[in-house]
Chains A and B, each alone.
Chain A
């Protein structure tokens, strides 16, 4: 158990809908990262927050947005969902802004029908 929690574990929804994925980092970690892993694809970095502020952006679609709250938990919002958004979404956390080991959560499996 990495100490990073993600909810929900599974999510099934329809095209065009909007969903919110939630992540709680390890106690004491200030950085939160979001990743997407499609079937048979490598992990793709989406976005990083550090202590409430956006720090780095990867290949995140405009339909996706994220935020980190004062209690350091983070949410990833996915809107106007398409079939191709079906994937595993992982959250990771680390102590500092960069350079440290990242600890991954168990992931949220999103299925868009």
Chain B
């Protein structure tokens, strides 16, 4: 069964600190991997999209890495801010030819002052 697993489930860090969120997937064949940020009760917002040929992609203080061989991805957040408090969702596009996406259950990140 195609799955996307994220860790940790939740994380609390001090404002200004860095953190790394993990995503492991078993979906195959793989097309692309996306990281979304979802504030409570709101729609997800895309942070990065990476194809299998990309190892790293940055969006401001967010840097995503991808290892297609080990089927692992990480999202690194630098110099965290209070507004980074949200759920971060890893999403994998399952195969070519359609747009079915498999979502992880997310990491709930809380930044404390």
- A-to-B contact residues, CB < 8 Å: 2, 4, 31, 33, 40-45, 48, 55-56, 58, 88, 90, 92, 94, 97-99, 101-107, 109
Majority-rule SS of B interface residues: loop
Query: For residue B91, which residues in chain A have a CB less than 8 angstroms away from its CB?
Result: 43
Interface residues on chain B, number (Cβ under 8 Å): 22
**Residues of chain A with a CB closer than 8 A to B106's CB:** 42
Select one of B32, B44, B46 contacting A43, CB under 8 A. B44
Most chain A CB neighbours (cut-off 10 Å) among B32, B44, B46, B106:
B44
- CA A56 to CA B98, docked complex, whole Å: 6
Find out whether the CB atom of A101 lies under 8 angstroms from the CB atom of B103: no
Nearest B residue to A103, CB-CB: B46
Closest CB-CB distance, B86 to chain A, in whole Å?
13
Chain A residues with CB below 8 A from B72, complex form: none
